Homo-oligomer: A and B are copies of this chain.
Amino acid sequence: MADPRFYSAKGPFTVRALAEIAGAALSSDSDPDRVIRDVAPLATAGPECLGFLDNPRYATQFAVTRAGACLVRPESSAGAPRGMCLLFTGTPYKAYAKVAQAFYPREAPVPGVAPSATVDPGAKIGEGTAIGAGAVVGPGAEIGRRCRIGANAVIGPGVTLGDDCVIGASTSLHYCLVGRRVRMLAGVRIGEDGFGFAPDPDVPVDIPQLGRVIIEDDVEIGANTTIDRGAGPDTVIGAGTRIDNLVQIGHNVTLGRGCIVIAQAGISGSTKLEDYAIVAAQGGVAGHLTVGKGARVAAKSGVMRDVPPGVSVGGIPAVGIRQWFRQVAILQRLARSRDQ
């Protein structure tokens, strides 16, 4: 059970209600009125908990779990413990996410401006929004309804946020327009100067960075990640994209819808990720490239040329993933066969 110092579960819910929330179908021998009080992994779930089976690797846990109810694909449900309620779905993990959200919804903000916050008189704050202690909101900023601005966060002049955004502690936003339901964790840096200058042996001559960061709806951005504003064009983060911690996004980058950029990856200036492209942890993409729709860049890889849609790449410099596997295999074989 989640630590009550930090979390409190809603509910309880009947199995019938949870099936509806999950978009799942109850098996005929399940008791729709059974009461469920929490979610839990199969290994630790008790009779009043709901679990899920998605990865077949956990089938043995499924067979012996004490969970009172389980989200499962119909074809994986053989061997279920007697008496357990079965909620059939084709996507057990996603269904579980919805049930877990029902038990642990995001807390609504407690509206109001903390006494120690500094809100410019020229800023607009929407109804139901909470501005945390020590937060700073600059002139001309517009914050939507039901937003939560974390402690010591900084919302710069002219920045706009849509409704239902959550901004983490000590995060700073400048030169950006942010959509609805966007979540940024703590320490994020949006809209700082891009890395642009003309070299000079004396002092480099900076190029004024005159663009913005446009963040579409439903984006999430991890802790201490940095997204530079555009140099003239904008830096754009497409709807539903997920960015992990400590990621670097250079100026003029465009990420499409539903992209995934995992921890400590970096996307260099003016590069474009098309919809649903994925860059895994510590991966890097050089500047002025296109990573096609649904393409995948393996962890720690370095992409130095365009990646066509749907293609997976790996290595430094990155090549097709199978080619990379062969490179790894042949090098390992050569090294093993060598006299020592």
Contacts and interface: CB of A to CB of B under 8 A. Distances in A.
A292 interface: no
Nearest to A119: B133
B198 A94 contact: yes
Given A189-B224, A222-B195, A302-B300, A94 B205 contact: yes
Interface in A241-274: 242, 244-246, 248, 250, 258, 260, 262-264, 266, 268
Nearest to A115: B118
A218 interface: yes
B158 A134 contact: no
A40 interface: yes
- How many identical chains are in the complex? 3
Contacts of A210: 2, 7, 100, 104
The majority secondary structure among interface residues of chain A is loop
Given A282-B282, A284-B300, A317-B328, A248 B226 contact: no
A340 interface: yes
Contact of A152 (B114, B136, B281): B136
A334 to B, nearest CB: 5
Contact of A286 (B233, B264, B299, B328): B299
A151 B262 CA distance: 29
Interface string A134-165: 10101010000000001110101110000000
A281 B284 contact: yes
B169 A154 contact: yes
A207 B101 CA distance: 7
A334 B335 CA distance: 12
28 contacts: A6-B157, A6-B212, A94-B198, A97-B207, A98-B205, A100-B208, A101-B206, A104-B208, A136-B152, A151-B172, A152-B154, A168-B192, A169-B172, A170-B170, A172-B187, A186-B192, A192-B223, A197-B242, A200-B240, A204-B240, A223-B226, A246-B246, A248-B281, A263-B266, A266-B282, A326-B335, A326-B336, A330-B334
Given A115-B118, A185-B192, A263-B266, 17 more contacts: A93-B198, A94-B205, A104-B210, A132-B136, A169-B174, A170-B170, A172-B186, A189-B245, A195-B262, A203-B240, A224-B226, A226-B245, A248-B263, A263-B268, A266-B282, A300-B302, A326-B335
